[in-house]
Structure 1
């Protein structure tokens, strides 16, 4: 687990490479959205085909994914403790995923926390530094 508390800056530092992953995903979704807009730019309703429907669906999915990455999630590596609301978990298809919930409504996924024991250790660290869970 690469999650530490920096006492000098009063922040939690997470080193898991999520920032690079988010940058790559955002770039791919923007490219996908631009491609779908270009493919749909000269289509008339009387000439609407199945492939145009596919491009419209891909564009809509790209918009939803971009909304999720920009508005709902964060990839910050340093989280000030006064911005942290709590530590949560969710179960998706039988696997538990852990995340930090921030006061501004965003979530920071914890990719390095894979087991219940690591989650309990992280909870102890948060309680020790004064974050109410």
Structure 2
């Protein structure tokens, strides 16, 4: 069973985050600089929310607002769903599908230790399945020698 901790260990260790009073433009700039689709919104060391490209598209662009003046706190998702490091990738994918989210902050003993995306989890599942296939092929070829 592949866990969320395993997925986090394959990623760079830096957690990108932003303050709720920062502008949406600042959030977008940070996401673009790091080629990521979401940021954890942190206020005084605590998770206040998550801001995603989807939040921007739906709450700025479609509503005719401006990213230059709007603070992150006005469009962030406040009801954050977390993953646990020991949680399986399959369970995390099920939660993401059921809640229609694409990013999960990972909480370990009340501390955010990372953020996983649906892409990170799918990549881990594919790599695991490929490993199993290769092991089975090796086993089958070994029996035919």
* TM-score with structure 1 setting the length: 0.27
Q: Which has the higher contact order (CA 8 A, sep 6+)?
A: 2
* TM-score with structure 2 setting the length: 0.26
**Larger relative helix fraction:** 1
Which has the higher Rg, Structure 1 or Structure 2?
A: 1
